[in-house]
C-alpha cells in the first residue's frame, strides 16, 4: 500500500492536469450538438486507460452515446471489480450565472470549478488514477473492469440493452461507483439507497392560436391557468401525492430503522441556510432526511407557455407545458407509476382543454445491504483514510443503471461517493474540492486491499 500511496503523492499534479483535459471536452449528453464531443471524450478516456496500464480499452457503440470499456485481468481466479462511472455531463446553462467558463476548469479556494468537476468526471477519474497507481506499482490485488457510460444524465436509455448484450464482458463480483455524496469531509458516509424516477412531460392545448387576452379573456379556458390548477391538485396540503395508487407499493420502513436513520448527523439550519430558504417543506410526519431518503416526491422541473420575454404582452396562450418528475422509493416501479400518472392527470383537466402526457424516462430505486463483504471493505477503506467510520445513508438522487446492474447482471453495487452537497452538481459553478479528489484516489486502493483480504479470509 505504501508504494501506491507514494506513487499518488508523486503524480498529484499530472492527475489533475489529465482530469482538466477531460473536463475541457463539453460532453453534454442531452444536446445533439455535442455528439462529436461525446466521441472525443471516449477517445480521451480510452487513451488514458491504456497509458494507465489497462490490458484492453475500447469504445463500444450503443444505440445512443458510446461506452468506454477497459480492463486489467491479472488472474481469473481472483475476484473482479467492475467500476462504473459516466463521462457525460448536464448542460451548463444558464451560462451567465457562472463565475468562470464551465468548460475551462479553474481552481479557487482549493476547489475545482467546472461542469463535471464532481458529477461525474472528477469522481470517476479518481478510479482511473487509483487504478494507474496500483498497476504501475504492481499492487493491484484483483481484476478490474471499467464501464464508463455517456447517457447517465439523460436516463441511460441504451444501457439495459448494452448490459444484456455484454453480460459476459461485464461479469464481476461487485460494482464500485463514485457518483454520490458524503455527509461532509469530516463525516464520511456510504450511500446505501437511491431513489427511482419517473419523468413526465405534459402539454395542455386550448384554442387553435394565441389569443388577445382582452378580446377573449374570461370566455375561454386558458391552458396555462388549467395547467397551474392541475399541478396544484397533484399534491394535498400535507404534501402527499394524490395520484390514486401512488403509495400502494411504497415499502414502509420500520420504527427501528427510522430511529437508526435519525442517528446520521443532519443540521436542518445549515441545510436551510445553504440553499437560502427559511422553512423546509415536505410530507407530513417525516423528517427532512426521511423525505428525501425513504419517501417519494413529485416536482415540476420546468413550466412554460405564453409570453415569457421581457415586458408585457397581453396574450392568452394556445398551449402550456410542464416537465414533472416523480422520485420513487422501493418497491415502486417507474413504469407503473408513469401509467398511474398518465391515467390520472387528464382527469384533472377543466372543460375546454386537451391534455397530452408523455413518459420521457424512468428508473428504479436501489438499496444495498450493510452486512456484505463489499460494504465492509468500503467502510474499512474509508475508516483507514478518513480516520472515522462511515455512516450509511439513503440518498434522494437516482442512478438508474444501478438497479439494471442488479437485474441483468445479478451484481450489487457499492456507492462510495466523495461529492458534497455544496458542490452544486447540475447548477452553475459546480465544484469539487481538491481534498476530496485526492482523498478519493487514496481511499480506492484501500478498498481493493481490504476487499481482497476479506475475500481470501
181 binds, among Mn ion, ligand BES, none (CB under 5 to 8 A by kind): ligand BES
Q: With contacts defined by CB under 5 A, how many residues of the chain interact with Mn ion? A: 3
Interface with ligand BES, residue 149, by CB under 6 A:
no
**Of residues 354-383, which lie at the interface with ligand BES (CB under 6 A)?**
363
Residue from 141, 155, 330, 365 that binds ligand BES (CB under 6 A)? 155
DSSP secondary structure letter of residue 246: T
Residue from 71, 132, 151, 152 that binds ligand BES (CB under 6 A)? 152
Interface with Mn ion, residue 442, by CB under 5 A:
no
**Of residues 153-182, which lie at the interface with Mn ion (CB under 5 A)?**
179
124 touches 439 (CB < 8 A): no
Cell 504501475: give the residue: 136
Whose Cβ is closer to ligand BES: residue 180's or residue 297's? 180
400 binds, among Mn ion, ligand BES, none (CB under 5 to 8 A by kind): ligand BES
Whose Cβ is closer to ligand BES: residue 155's or residue 223's? 155
Cell of 246: 401512488
Interface with ligand BES, residue 179, by CB under 6 A:
yes
Interface with ligand BES, residue 402, by CB under 6 A:
no
**Dihedral angle sign, alpha carbons of residues 382, 15, 420, 302:** negative
398 binds, among Mn ion, ligand BES, none (CB under 5 to 8 A by kind): ligand BES
Q: How many CB atoms lie within 10 A of CB 305?
A: 21
What is the spatial order of strands in the sheet that 297-305 belongs to?
297-305, 319-328, 196-205, 354-363
Q: Is 102 exposed, middle or buried (0-12, 13-18, 19+ CB in 10 A)?
A: buried
Q: Which stretch binds ligand BES (CB under 6 A): 61-69, 105-113, 177-185, 228-236?
A: 177-185
Site string for ligand BES, 66-105 (x = CB under 6 A): ----------------------------------------
In the complex, minimum distance from the CB of residue 417 to Mn ion, in angstroms, rounded to a whole number: 9
- Helix then strand then coil, in percent of the chain rounded to 5, is 35, 25, 40
Greatest distance between any 2 Cα atoms in the chain: 81
The helix or strand, by DSSP H or E, that contains position 441, with its residue range, turns out to be helix 434-456
In the complex, minimum distance from the CB of residue 393 to ligand BES, in angstroms, rounded to a whole number: 10
Contacts of 170 (CB under 8 A, 6+ apart): 82, 145, 147, 163, 409
Residue from 18, 37, 71, 119 that binds Mn ion (CB under 5 A)? 119
Residue from 80, 137, 181, 436 that binds ligand BES (CB under 6 A)? 181
Q: Which stretch binds ligand BES (CB under 6 A): 108-116, 150-158, 340-348, 350-358?
A: 150-158
Whose Cβ is closer to Mn ion: residue 133's or residue 149's? 149
In the complex, minimum distance from the CB of residue 120 to ligand BES, in angstroms, rounded to a whole number: 6
In the complex, minimum distance from the CB of residue 86 to ligand BES, in angstroms, rounded to a whole number: 6
- Select the residue whose beta carbon is closest to ligand BES and give its number: 397
In the complex, minimum distance from the CB of residue 447 to ligand BES, in angstroms, rounded to a whole number: 19
325 touches 200 (CB < 8 A): yes
Q: With contacts defined by CB under 6 A, how many residues of the chain interact with ligand BES? A: 15
Strands 80-86 and 143-149 turn out to be parallel
In the complex, minimum distance from the CB of residue 425 to Mn ion, in angstroms, rounded to a whole number: 6
Interface with ligand BES, residue 317, by CB under 6 A:
no
Q: Which stretch binds Mn ion (CB under 5 A): 55-63, 118-126, 141-149, 306-314?
A: 118-126
Half-sphere exposure of 7 (CA within 13 A, CB side): 18
Distance between CA atoms of residues 299 and 258, nearest Å: 24
Whose Cβ is closer to Mn ion: residue 148's or residue 320's? 148
Half-sphere exposure of 435 (CA within 13 A, CB side): 11
193 binds, among Mn ion, ligand BES, none (CB under 5 to 8 A by kind): none
Residue from 150, 305, 390, 397 that binds ligand BES (CB under 6 A)? 397
Distance between CA atoms of residues 128 and 106, nearest Å: 21
Question: How far is CA 76 from each of CA 81, 300, 373, 405, rounded to the nearest angstrom?
Answer: 12, 49, 20, 21
Residue from 120, 151, 423, 430 that binds Mn ion (CB under 5 A)? 120
The alpha carbon of 8 is separated from its chain's Cα centroid by a whole number of angstroms, namely 27
Q: Is 94 exposed, middle or buried (0-12, 13-18, 19+ CB in 10 A)?
A: exposed
DSSP-assigned states of every residue in 39-97: HHHHHHHHHHHHHTT-SEEEEE--SSS-EEEEEE-S-TTS-EEEEEEE--B-----GGG
In the complex, minimum distance from the CB of residue 400 to Mn ion, in angstroms, rounded to a whole number: 11
225 binds, among Mn ion, ligand BES, none (CB under 5 to 8 A by kind): none
**Which stretches of the chain bind Mn ion, using CB under 5 A?**
119-120, 179
**Which stretches of the chain bind ligand BES, using CB under 6 A?**
119-120, 152-153, 155, 179-181, 197, 363, 395, 397-400
Amino acid at each position: 500500500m505504501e508504494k501506491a500511496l507514494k506513487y499518488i503523492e508523486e503524480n498529484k499534479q499530472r492527475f489533475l492536469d489529465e482530469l482538466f483535459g477531460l473536463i475541457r471536452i463539453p460532453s453534454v449528453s442531452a444536446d445533439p450538438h455535442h455528439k462529436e464531443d461525446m466521441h472525443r471524450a471516449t477517445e480521451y478516456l480510452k487513451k488514458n486507460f491504456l497509458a494507465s496500464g489497462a490490458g484492453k480499452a475500447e469504445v463500444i457503440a450503443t444505440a445512443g452515446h458510446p461506452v468506454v470499456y477497459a480492463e486489467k485481468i491479472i488472474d481469473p481466479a481472483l475476484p473482479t471489480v467492475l467500476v462504473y462511472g459516466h463521462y457525460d455531463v448536464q448542460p451548463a446553462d444558464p451560462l451567465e450565472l457562472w463565475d468562470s467558463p464551465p468548460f475551462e476548469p479553474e481552481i479557487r479556494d482549493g476547489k475545482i470549478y467546472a461542469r463535471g468537476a464532481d458529477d461525474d468526471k472528477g469522481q470517476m477519474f479518481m478510479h482511473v488514477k487509483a487504478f494507474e497507481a496500483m498497476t504501475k506499482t504492481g499492487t493491484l490485488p484483483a481484476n478490474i473492469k471499467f464501464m464508463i457510460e455517456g447517457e447517465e444524465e439523460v436516463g441511460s436509455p441504451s444501457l439495459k440493452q448494452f448490459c444484456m448484450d455484454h453480460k459476459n464482458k461485464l461479469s464481476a463480483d461487485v460494482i464500485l461507483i463514485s457518483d454520490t455524496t458524503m455527509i461532509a469531509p469530516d463525516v464520511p458516509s456510504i450511500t446505501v439507497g437511491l431513489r427511482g424516477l419517473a419523468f413526465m412531460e405534459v402539454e395542455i392545448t386550448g384554442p387553435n392560436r394565441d389569443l388577445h387576452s382582452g378580446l377573449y379573456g374570461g370566455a375561454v379556458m386558458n391552458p396555462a391557468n388549467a395547467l397551474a390548477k392541475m399541478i396544484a391538485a397533484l399534491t394535498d396540503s400535507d404534501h402527499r401525492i394524490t395520484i390514486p395508487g401512488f403509495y400502494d407499493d411504497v415499502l414502509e420502513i420500520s420504527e427501528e430503522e427510522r430511529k437508526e436513520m435519525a442517528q446520521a448527523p443532519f443540521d436542518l439550519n445549515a441545510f436551510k441556510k445553504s440553499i437560502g430558504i427559511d422553512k423546509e417543506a415536505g410530507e407530513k410526519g417525516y423528517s427532512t432526511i426521511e423525505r428525501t431518503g425513504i419517501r417519494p416526491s413529485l416536482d415540476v422541473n420546468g413550466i412554460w407557455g405564453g409570453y415569457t420575454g421581457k415586458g408585457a404582452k397581453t396574450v392568452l396562450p394556445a398551449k402550456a407545458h410542464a416537465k414533472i418528475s416523480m422520485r420513487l422509493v422501493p418497491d415502486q416501479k417507474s413504469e407503473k407509476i408513469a401509467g398511474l400518472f398518465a391515467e390520472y392527470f387528464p382527469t384533472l383537466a377543466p372543460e375546454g382543454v386537451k391534455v397530452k402526457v408523455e413518459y420521457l424516462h424512468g428508473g428504479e430505486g436501489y438499496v444495498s445491504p450493510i452486512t456484505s463483504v463489499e460494504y465492509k471493505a468500503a467502510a474499512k477503506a474509508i475508516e483507514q483514510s478518513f480516520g472515522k467510520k462511515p455512516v450509511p445513508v439513503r440518498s434522494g438522487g437516482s442512478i438508474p443503471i444501478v438497479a439494471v446492474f442488479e437485474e441483468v447482471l445479478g451484481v450489487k453495487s457499492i456507492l462510495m461517493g466523495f461529492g458534497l452537497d455544496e458542490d452544486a452538481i447540475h447548477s452553475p459553478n459546480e465544484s469539487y474540492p481538491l481534498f476530496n479528489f485526492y482523498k478519493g484516489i487514496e481511499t480506492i486502493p484501500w478498498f481493493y486491499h481490504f476487499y481482497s483480504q476479506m475475500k481470501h479470509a
